[in-house]
Amino acid sequence: MYKLIRAAAVTAALCSMAVGAVAQTFTKPIRVIVPYPAGDLGDVISRLLQPSMQESLGQPIVIENRPGASGLLGLQSALQGPNDGHTFVMGQMGSMAVAPITNKQPIDVRAEFVPVAMAYSNYLLLAANPSVPAKTIAELVAYSKANPGKLRLGSNGEGGFPHLSMELLQERTGMDFIHVPYKGNNQVMTDVMGGQIELAIGSFTTLYPHAQSGKLTAIAMTGKSRSAFAPAVASFGEGVPGYEALGWFGFFGRKGAPPATITAFNAAVNTALAKPDIAQKTQALGLDTVAGTPAQFGAIWMNDYDKWSKLLRTLKLDAK
């Protein structure tokens, strides 16, 4: 479903909107609502792309951090004021395809927002304490079935993306594990290295350095295929055909906004993604660049919304 396109390969047609036309599209500063705290990855991404996008669009871009309620406060803030195409939201898979279901939000994100431009996707890493004899997904599934109740899996919380990625694996393979939810990633990492839990699922950039040092075993990343960032690490899709669970970050606009603003903003994002200096910083963040049209982003969004909502209802996490 995900078509990853390296920034260097973004087509000229996608990145070369007429500057004059864009300048006429936006007539005042552009707001980008970031529903996460300063320093969060969504905030870092927005500020990384900001200078290039300002140059392309001919207007200042004002980034407003509005964290709270799993992204809801930021989404509500974006719906206030005139719908003139000058307000956008930095969204991620969790806030746009999981939280609306688990939190029963008072707004329907599918009815209120439209996809504008996907920017990046990222991987989760499943890591194990070295005491676990399994080294691959197939071995881990077999080991778990032979030792029911033996594997404790830590994640950053029930119903979060890391937890759901493993529930999807369980649904596809019958893997046995006991989920141990934590309030944050740091304690998960500490406990899996200390042996209090056997498995951890979380950010690739957080867990992988400990696998490189030998403190953890990197079992697999949650993509269909291997990542160029760590080609030695297998993907879930290699052991479980059709499996894919990737996070993503991208921009959304209000439904009913002038189409010209959507088109221009999309082009500005794609132009920024193609710049070598931005691509270099992106690699340091452990992200894959994804450039494309609003329609392509929309297809990914709706696919994930349907996939995760079905799983959440099966787990009865939609009723919380």
Per-residue pLDDT in tens (0 to 9) along the chain, 320 residues: 444 444 334 433 444 444 444 556 899 999 999 999 999 999 999 999 999 999 999 999 999 999 998 889 999 999 999 999 999 999 999 899 998 888 878 899 999 999 999 999 988 999 999 999 999 999 999 999 999 999 999 999 998 899 999 999 999 999 999 999 998 788 999 999 999 999 999 988 889 999 999 999 999 999 888 887 788 999 999 989 989 998 999 999 999 999 999 999 999 999 999 999 999 999 888 898 999 999 999 999 999 999 999 999 999 987 65
In which residue ranges of the chain is CATH 3.40.190.10 found? 124-239
For position 99, what pLDDT does the model report?
87
Helices (H), 85-183: 93, 99-102, 109-112, 137-146, 161-173
DSSP secondary-structure letter at 72? H
CA end-to-end distance (rounded Å), the chain = 29
- Which CATH entry fits the domain spanning 124-239: 3.40.109.10, 3.40.190.10, 3.40.50.450, 3.30.559.10? 3.40.190.10
For position 7, what pLDDT does the model report?
39
Q: Give this prediction's pTM.
A: 0.87
| Angle, CA of 31, 33 and 36, to the nearest 5° | 155
CA 255, chain centre distance (Å): 22
CA-to-CA distance for 269 and 48, rounded, in angstroms? Answer: 11
Query: Encoding tokens for residue 201?
Result: 């699922």
For position 4, what pLDDT does the model report?
43
Q: State the CATH class of domain 7-122+246-314.
A: alpha beta
In which residue ranges of the chain is CATH 3.40.190.150 found? 7-122+246-314
Q: Give the strand order in the sheet containing 152-155.
A: 178-181, 152-155, 199-203, 124-128, 217-221
CA-to-CA distance for 307 and 110, rounded, in angstroms? Answer: 15
